[in-house]
Amino acid sequence: QVQLQESGPGLVKPSETLSLTCTVSGGSLSGYYWSWIRQPPGKGLEWIGYIYYSGSTNYNPSLKSRVTISVDTSKNQFSLNLSSVTAADTAVYYCARGQLLFNFWGQGTLVTVSS
């Protein structure tokens, strides 16, 4: 059974860059798309973007100018960088397997943007 685990700082200062890593176990990154999705406290879900194991990416147009997703197949990890964060970026960030549908998810990690 594939398992995903997010890791990274839980607190980021405004204007800085949010950086998270998702470690995949129980399976390989190869052959699959991998996504980041976020959920502000008490609100709905927002797809951030995905990366194919080979490195091709696609991002939500609303975040595209600030988002970079990368992959490290040697570590079975993929990562999210979100630059110039504001309080509006405070959310639980999930990593998930899939390009269109998301059938395996990490447990999520809360990132708070605050000085």
Nearest CB to other proteins, comparing residues 57 and 73 = 57
Sheet bearing 67-72, strands edge to edge? 3-7, 18-25, 77-82, 67-72
Nearest CB to other proteins, comparing residues 78 and 94 = 94
Residues that bind other proteins (CB under 8 A): 43-47, 49, 58-62, 94, 96, 100-103, 105-108
Write down the least CB distance from residue 93 to other proteins, Å: 11
Nearest CB to other proteins, comparing residues 15 and 25 = 25
Q: How far is CA 71 from the centre of its chain?
A: 11
